[in-house]
Structure 1
Amino acid sequence: MPKKALIITYYWPPAGGPGVQRWLKFVKYLPDFDVQPIVYVPENPSYPMLDNTLLEEIPKEVTILKQPINEPYKLAEFFSKQSSKTISSGVIPKEKKQTVMQQLMLYVRGNYFIPDARKAWVKPSVTYLSEYIKKHHIQTVITTGPPHSIHLIGLQLKATLGVKWIADFRDPWTTIGYHKKLKLSTSAAQKHEHMEKQVLSTADHILVTSENTKKEFATKSNQPITVITNGYDYQPLPKTKKDRSFSLAHIGSLLSERNPKVLWKVLGKLIKEDKGFKDAFVLKLIGVVSDDVLQEIRKFIPENNIEIVGYVNHIEALVSQRQSQLLLMIEIDSEDTKAIIPGKLFEYMVAETPIIAVGPQDSDVEHILKATNTGRYFGYNAETELKVYLRSCFEDYRNSALSTHPIGLQQYSRKALTKKLAELI
């Protein structure tokens, strides 16, 4: 008889963005490993992005439980819909460019909604799920964050029912980049640290998506910690042809600090120095892009060489990955972001398109790219190296020789990763 696992998550279709992909795919493959997933999600969530195509990927046989949630973002939209949407999507402007409303919302969010704006869902969820778990003999509860308030549901269910509890961290808690921007008081910061410690020391098992996060959490907890990265899934896609232009595509959100001026500068120089490069090159920006980043790009790159696409659904994103000549991945240049592995990395790796990544040295992304031979990684000061490599890629493009030769990608398939999860359950 299959083991039952109750998965508690905030992000679920029709939510768009990378946060929904991880557990949607686990749910898809868990039955193949004799685990019956039951998914608990909010009934009326305030998602910053929607992708209705993901609804088609929910297995028809899976049980979905829903309960209402009260979120302050809906009230905030009454005062400023744009500010609310911007902050809830994670694109936080630089402090000197924040409006008074944005500053107020960040302060309230950081100091009055601890650990996050979905905390009001904890108490009613514990009440509802306690009865469901007892009635249906659930053996394992899994919580996934962010939002990290989801882990508080697991914490209370563990305390009252003694169920086996696995806490999955798609991102770190107190060391994630935006945490420092929440204008936290000393008291609020201490409350976050206390909650984080409670969760890490109480969960029976902790899941993380990177080796760097595992190292961080190992200093805060004696509980077992396992790395299960995000991954890729095979999906039928329309036939695609490579762009005729020499396209460099960034797919996903470009936050204010995800802004490698060295790259924009190098591209600007190549455009000025080489007419062939200027005529062929296109920087494709697919997804939400902050005004700060756009302003910096436009300092160096002419408007004719920029294509702003905006947000697209998941299938369109996968097609764009295969059409582009090069794929761009950018992370904030910070010690805290070494542990961040964007879910799109693994989709990039199977797109048969070379990857150029810019971020902090010695990151998990750097190690994965090197190990799989799927791209090149550069620091924020690597001007000469970037210029040489981009010129080399352009020559390969002109000779129809721009390609990749990946190795060892099977370990990152969603099914292989789900097998690893099922063994823990």
Structure 2
Amino acid sequence: ICDENPGIIIFSTSAPYTAHLIARELKRQYGYPWVADFRDEWSQNPYLSAATRYHWKRHKKAEQTVLHEADAVISVTDKITRGLQVIAPDSQAAFYTIPNGFDPDDFLSFHAGLGTKSNQQWTLTHVGTVNRSRAELLLPFIRTLKKLSTSGKIPLSTVKLQLIGAGDWSNPEFSGLDWIETQNYLPHQEALKILSQTDLAILAEANPAAYTGKIFEYLGLQKPILGLVHPESPAAQLIKEADAGYVAGLEEGPLLDEALINSYQSWQKGISPVQPNLEVIARFNRERQAKQLAKIMERIQRKEYGAYP
């Protein structure tokens, strides 16, 4: 491809991080402009595991070569972008942030937006893989629902919690709960259809630098969000900015209690607990983001490495 298209822009995206190393070799061989896109952190990623200290050093060294040899570096949050700049202060690359987003065409086959009391049970839904660490994030939420049931504020007979995606349910606190439905992987459209009918969409993420991709589909569907997220994370900030739901944090406490009670009472009344800011949500339309990426590539090709216009 590089031989047949002189001057073409090399674009790599991670994970896997190997994509950047392949692009680095192409950059060294051809000298063409290179844009390195990070969907997640690399050496700063809390979920990255290395077999030995030697492997960890190799990760960090490879990351440095990418950050110093790419012409532009893009990430999905300002926190990740700043983190990459901090660990490569001498890099001559231009650094940009383009967040993840949603494709409105994904929602054409069913109604996206705020519903009324159509569900016979108050329905809460989490979509996505639940590994052991993410399952731990759901435990305060499970315990709080049990507590609110015991106090009579939310009878569990009126609750349905849907956990869609591969999951680790080995913790005994998930056992014997007939109000929880677990289901393995579903095709994307089927999962979105279920989300479009939920009363509260659950977002669980401990990484303080991350959004997680699901938040953008939740926003695109205009479903109320329960953020089991770090209170200073980009996800928390976006939920608040878009008036899209609740930021309950990572632990049990009054914020989680109040969020669940408010959502439940809104369901009882047949009203939505939120009125999302559609102008904020529109910023995460992928068509708009593709235009941002195109502008960056045009600037890199012209060797204009300034701040994003």
- State the TM-score, normalizing by the size of structure 1: 0.64
Q: Which deviates more, 270-279 or 251-260?
A: 270-279
Say whether residues 1:256 and 2:132 are aligned partners: yes
Contact 1:288 1:310 in 2 (8 A): yes
Per-residue deviation, 1:378: 1.9
Partner letter of residue 243 of structure 1?
Answer: N
C-alpha distance in 2, partners of 1:324/1:211?
30
**Does the 8 A contact of 1:352 with 1:403 survive in 2?**
no
Alpha-carbon separation, structure 1, partners of 2:82 and 2:173: 35
List, as ranges, runs of 4+ consecutive aligned residues in structure 1 with deviation greater than 6 Å. none
Residue 88 of structure 1 corresponds to none
Counterpart secondary structure, 1:291: coil
Are residues 1:272 and 2:272 paired?
no
Q: State the identity as a percent.
A: 24
Note if 1:170 corresponds to 2:36: no
Map 1:154-303 onto structure 2 (within 5 A).
154-180=23-49, 182=50, 184-221=51-88, 222=91, 223-235=93-105, 236-238=108-110, 242-258=118-134, 259-260=136-137, 261-274=139-152, 277-292=155-170, 295-298=172-175, 302-303=176-177
2:234 alignment partner in structure 1: 364
Q: Distance in 2 between matches of 1:295 and 1:406?
A: 37
Equivalence map 1:246-395=2 (5 Å): 246-258=122-134, 259-260=136-137, 261-274=139-152, 277-292=155-170, 295-298=172-175, 302-332=176-206, 337-395=207-265
| Unaligned ranges ≥5, structure 1 | 1-131
**Paired position in structure 2 for 1:416:** 288
Q: How far is 1:188 from its partner?
A: 1.1
Deviations 1:138-174 (Å, cap 9, x if unpaired)? 5201001100001011101111100100000111111
Q: Which amino acid aligns with 1:312?
A: L
TM-align CA RMSD? 1.8
Instruction: Pick 1 or 2: higher relative contact order, CA cutoff 8 A, min separation 6.
Output: 2
Q: Secondary structure at the match of 1:353?
A: coil
Q: What secondary structure is seen at the aligned counterpart in 2 of 1:134?
A: coil
Contact 2:7 2:33 in 1 (8 A): no
Alignment length (residue pairs): 284
Structure 2: stretches of 5+ with no match in the other structure: 298-309
Q: Please say if residues 153 and 261 of structure 2, whose CA atoms lie closer than 8 Å, have aligned partners that are also in contact.
A: no
Question: 1:346, CA displacement in angstroms?
Answer: 0.8
The answer to whether the 8 A contact 2:161-2:179 is kept is yes
- From the superposition, tell whether residues 276 and 136 of structure 1 become closer, same or farther in structure 2 (CA, over 3 Å): closer
Residue of structure 1 equivalent to 2:3? 134
**In structure 1, C-alpha distance between the alignment counterparts of 2:237 and 2:162, rounded to whole Å:** 26
> The residue matched to 1:253 in structure 2 has which SS?
coil
| CA positional deviation for 1:134 | 1.7
Residue type at the aligned position of 1:350? G
Q: Decide which structure has greater helix share.
A: 1
Equivalent position SS for 1:257: helix
Aligned-pair CA distance for 1:136: 2.7
Provide the C-alpha distance between the structure 1 equivalents of 2:125 and 2:219, rounded to a whole number of angstroms.
14
Give the superposition deviation at 1:364.
0.7
String of CA shifts for 1:35-78, please: whole Å, max 9, x gaps.
xxxxxxxxxxxxxxxxxxxxxxxxxxxxxxxxxxxxxxxxxxxx
Normalising by structure 2, report the TM-score: 0.87
CA distance in 1, matches of 2:62, 2:111: 48
